[in-house]
Chains A and B, each alone.
Chain A
Amino acid sequence: MDLNRVDQEKYARLVKLEPDVTCCIGCGSCTASCSAGVFSRTSLRSALLALQNGKEQEALSLLGACMFCGKCLMVCPRGLNTRHMILSIHKIYSET
């Protein structure tokens, strides 16, 4: 993958809207506790990683099953607003 061809503008917008994105330590608590993760591959941690690697579609597919239950918000050791992060990722990257 040529990272130079990835749309950096969207990621910059995401970071501006959700500074929390850069604070994630990738501990995976969100993924471990995820309600949707029991049934379908869902991971905010992996989604953030995918976005940083320019894999936008993969990131979206990792969040599509999310039921917004908020468990990730409760367990995040960094106190990040995970739910709003998910909303913003959808809003920014689902644009056509």
Chain B
Amino acid sequence: MMNLLSLLLPLQDVSAEVIDRIPSGYNHFILPYFIGILFCISWLLVGLLRNLASLPAEDRKRLALSLVTPKTAWKNIRDLFCDCLFHTKIWKRKPLLGYMHSAIAFGWFMLIILGHCEVALFVPKHLSFKEGNLFYPIFYRFFVWANPEHTTLRGSLFFFLMDFFLLYVLSGIGLAMFKRIRSIALGMRHTTKPSLADRVALYALWSIFPLRLLAESFTANLSGGSFLTYSANVLLRWLFGENLYIMPWWWAYSIALGLFFFAMPFSRYMHILTEPLLILYRNAGLKIRTLNRGFGEAEIYACSSCGLCLDACPMNIQKKNLRFSSVYLIRFLRRHNQAKVDRIADKCLQCGKCAQLCPVGVNAPAMRVVQRSLSNNVIPYHYAYMQDVAAAAPASQGKVLYFAGCMTRLTPRIIKGVEKVLQTAGIDYVFADKEGGLCCGRPLMLAGRTDAARKAIEANRQMILSSGCTTLLVSCPICYKVFREEYDLPGIRIVHYTEFIQELIASGKLSMEKDGTRYVYHDPCELGRGCGIYEEPRAVLSQAGTLCHASKERDESLCCGGSLGSLTLNYKDRGKITEGALETLLAENPECIVTACPLCLKTFSEKSAVPVKDFAEVVAGHLPQASA
């Protein structure tokens, strides 16, 4: 048996080689790796400089300032560790996926750090660039011969740690391989189709660590090892005899590394190094202005193409819509495929779920709006009439100004509910758009018609400011979001009716009578993910009846299908999304669906078998005098 093996695997006497290789600190096998990493570093450096140069001067200044501001600097450090290394965001949603990713990322990071520490402690001169800084610590086990009998405690500790983290990474790689076969086992229904560069880098990455294990195991009796590599070495020597032929393994390991670094700039693994940059940009308060440049480019390259947005997207209730997901938007942006980018950008509902759940925090909906504005911002508009509306501000000095918005006017029951609640609580209010008003500008904004939106925003702003109100009450989350983000209204509190009613109840101005009705609350996209309001409506509804859970709620909630965000989604496909969302809402058999958005209310009402009510309508129905 042994003879057969030795025929198959020609063995070589290593003793001569050992003496040879230790003092030199160099061997030809490092070349593939060395060329790969040099290429990768220079490519990235040029890319980084180009990206920084493409930032507007104002943004560059802001970035520089943020790096020296203690508060943002601390946030940077925290985010870099939590997001890039530990992946807390993935852990929280999908623990197994979180383990897989942090095993590879954090494990590899620790191998690199520990490797360098080991070299710093034992062979300090090799930390200098001239002495092989780029390869010596990586192939330390090859270059250093540690006499097992003279291994110090420090040495053993490092051997143990290196083996431990190698095992940790290997467990992650094992899960990653399994995920390719059965992604659902790790909590992903759909995964992305890898591109060619992705495949090359992926298979290289998969082979790096098993090859490292083999290479280190083959040398473990000469260079030392711990529980993993040394045991493997004993096994290998038992199988192949005392003289192991080690070189192929080190060559293979180096080639796998080189291939990975060579393919990396063209693959999804660019996210490893772009994510830190994006974190710095984001914490500096930078916003997307142009795609393929500056912040936009950082977002494109930070996308890890993981495909978590595929499961998140409400459109993907139909498999044919998978191709409109954010991951593919970014892929085609990277390839400058304008036709496909346009099609994908126009389809999206702008529900914001992909951005909310993205482990890297890429804001794809904002990218889509920028893309839409390229072709839609030039569309002409004739808004001269807006001046008259702005001038005719309803006098509401020191009062609450209620702005219902376009959509609420299609659902008069919301207005009825809000007015009843306000009157019961004795609030002095003025109805801003009773006879019709201007649109808030958000739909124009979402369509990429930014200039037109600015006109509408300015006209409304003038109307609100000259009305003299102190509180602006809105019942439409679409208006609410744009009022909060785009309107400059000094001294005026902008409040959504869910918050307002919750405050009225908390302060005792309003009381409700509870009955046994089982309610489920639907989080409108613009209110929940858009403005972070999840608790207020639930707090109020739990005083009206029993609150059931939806199978997907809060930041996981699904779009109702009626969103104005999509430009091209047709009626039939919207209907499928509505049905999907209703299914999640009816998970616990509620008797009534409650929502706080006129658009959701109208959309659900058309399809739901269960009554759909507005939040204010429910509150108005539970006021003490209503039952009396």
Residues of A within 8 A of B (CB): 33, 35-36, 38-40, 60-61, 64-71, 73-75, 79-81, 83-84, 87, 90-91, 94
Contact = CB atoms under 8 A, between A and B. Distances in A.
Given A39-B389, A39-B436, A79-B571, A87 B379 contact: yes
Nearest to B436: A38
A91 B379 contact: yes
Contact of A40 (B385, B444, B449): B385
Contact of B438 (A33, A35, A61, A80): A35
Interface of B: 346, 375-376, 379-383, 385-386, 388-389, 406-407, 409-410, 435-439, 441, 443-444, 447, 449, 452, 456, 562, 564, 567-572, 599, 602
A90 B377 CA distance: 11
Residue from B383, B568, B569 with most neighbouring chain A CB atoms (10 Å): B383
B560 to A, nearest CB: 12
A35 B439 contact: yes
Nearest to B602: A74
Nearest to A83: B567
A10 to B, nearest CB: 16
Given A81-B568, A81-B570, A81-B571, A68 B439 contact: yes
A79 B561 CA distance: 13
A40 B386 CA distance: 10
Contacts of B568: 81, 84
Nearest to A80: B571
A68 to B, nearest CB: 5
B601 to A, nearest CB: 11
Nearest to A60: B380
Contacts of B435: 38
Contacts of B562: 74
A84 B567 contact: yes
B385 A39 contact: yes
A87 B447 contact: yes
Given A69-B443, A84-B568, A64 B382 contact: yes
A75 B389 contact: no
Contacts of B447: 68, 83, 87
Nearest to B383: A65
B586 to A, nearest CB: 23
A64 B385 CA distance: 11
B456 A61 contact: no
Contact of A70 (B376, B564, B570, B571): B564
B603 to A, nearest CB: 8
Contacts of B382: 40, 61, 64-65
